[in-house]
Amino acid sequence: MLGAFARFGLRAKSSAQCITSFSSFTARWQSTKRETCFGDIFDSDPLTGKQPQPAPSQNTPGGGDDNVYLQEALQHVDIDAALEQFLLRPQREIHVELVITMDNGEVESFNAYRVQHNNFRGPYKGGYRLAPDVDMQEMRRLASLMTWKTSVMNIPFGGAKGGICCEPKLLSQRELERLTRKLVQHTRTMMGPYIDIPGPEISAGSRMMSWLFDEYSKYKRFSPACVTGKPVDLHGSHGREYATGRGAVLATRELLLHAHAGKIAHKDFIIQGFGNVGAWAAEMLHVRGGRVLCVSDRDGAIHNEQGLDIHALRRHLNAVPPFGGSLLSFPGGTKISHDEMFSMPCDVFIPAATSNAINETVAKQLNCNFVVEAANGPTTPAGDAVLRDRGIIVCPDIYASGGGVAVSWLEWVQNLQNFRWEEEEVNRKMDRLMTDALDPVWKLHEQKHVPLRTAAFVYALENVIKVAKARGYGG
């Protein structure tokens, strides 16, 4: 049995640590040591009748790289110590065991986590990811990041993040569906259109969001606004598929404009990561006249000094092998290593892959004027310090990757009112959100003489602090 757990990415030392009774689940709540209006009292487990126990106290919940940036930003805002600690700590943490029957008849258990960081400005908002390295600490970090991202984008949401510890490539569609529905069954009292609104993240696409919506509606009636990222035919929004990639391109446009560096046309770009976000960003930069010199995936990178034909590359990736399907087999580019990609000259480098991709070593290699963070947390604090010393301007992830949550909010608004905007209207509204968000951040950047990332966190903190005080917290 332990071998099966290892197969699905569960880190366990014994079967006793892995296997729970079918009826049990554990929830952990990070106490704020104050009664609040946020619904932080858990319902009892409907199957056992027992109340979940609070999590042990920790010194730095929600800690991580974003906490380093937050601590720096806190030096530039007026906030009392009590409210500061309240904003740094998550309001609720949930850990459930999802027990399902596999296609082969065996019973397996999977750990699922959800961290609800802050909802001063609106319902919790954040995606679910499926990955073998999902754990509570990572969810704390990403939930905190969502709080500041929605605040920078001036969207009336709070921050949350969740995940299921599994290897999705080893699960069938039926198994993934059972896992998703079981997740809703355990967490339905802690989610909903006005409580916590999940969305798609790594390996969790529109199909999983459809299952979430369907299962939740069984208990709460028709509720399309309970989740975003649904297919357009199932109450989803136009423009959601490419929203994060398009948002990164709009962020690039605004960054170049504010820095008096010209337009996207005739600029040279390198994109690390050619998944959904990177591919859409590359295509839209290509359409706007930018030259995408190099793109990469986990296996390597391809380069064309005249600029890659992005349309041809995407057709190649969609083709059936041996006619396509692999980035490195694309005939319109030359294979190079990741190190060669990092040191290649360009105007803008766009990390659109995983967290912590730009560490101190990579930051010393980069040969660009700007970095636009289309991924979540792609730059480590050590890497960020190197980029600052070298004078490379970084457009931070809490703004540059905000296109996805912007269109998620537009989908939520449409669902609440049971109507749908046309694609042009969604794109126009998103364009306005991305344009308006950078103006106050750039103003703080110039007034306080701080890096753009620090300015973004200062602006996000100020927005949350104002709402917190208006609601009676922090004096």
Q: Which residue has the tokens 């690390």?
A: 272
CA-based R_g, the chain, Å: 22
Residue that the structure tokens 């306005």 belong to: 432
Please tell me whether the peptide bond between 378 and the residue prior to it is cis, using omega within 30 degrees of 0: no
Is 220 designated active site? no
Distance CA 141, CA 247 (A): 22
- Dist CA 10 CA 60 (whole Å): 25
Contact 332, 308 (CB under 8 A): yes
Q: Is 155 helix (H, G, I), strand (E, B) or coil?
A: coil
pLDDT tens digits, the chain, 475 residues: what are they?
444 444 344 433 333 333 333 333 333 333 333 333 333 323 333 333 333 333 333 344 444 566 889 999 999 999 988 899 889 999 999 999 999 999 999 999 999 999 999 999 999 999 999 999 999 999 999 999 999 999 999 999 999 999 999 999 999 999 999 999 999 999 999 999 999 999 998 888 899 999 999 999 999 999 999 999 999 999 999 999 999 999 999 999 999 999 999 999 999 999 999 989 999 999 999 999 999 999 999 889 999 999 999 999 999 998 877 767 789 999 999 999 999 999 999 999 999 998 889 999 999 999 999 999 999 889 999 999 999 999 999 999 999 999 999 999 999 999 999 999 999 999 999 999 999 999 999 999 999 999 999 999 999 999 999 999 999 886 5
End-to-end CA distance of the chain: 55
**In the structure encoding, which two tokens stand for residue 33, read together?**
């040591």
Whose structure tokens read 């049971």? 418
Choosing from 161, 182, 230, 267, which is the catalytic residue? 161
Q: In sequence order, which residues have a C-beta less than 8 Å from that of residue 406 and are 6 or more positions away?
A: 153, 155, 243, 247, 430, 433, 434
Listing DSSP states for 160-188 in one string gives EEEEEES-GGGS-HHHHHHHHHHHHHHHG
Q: Which candidate, 89, 93, 86, places its Cα nearest to that of 115?
A: 93
Residues in CB range of 312: below 8 A, 6 or more apart: 330, 332
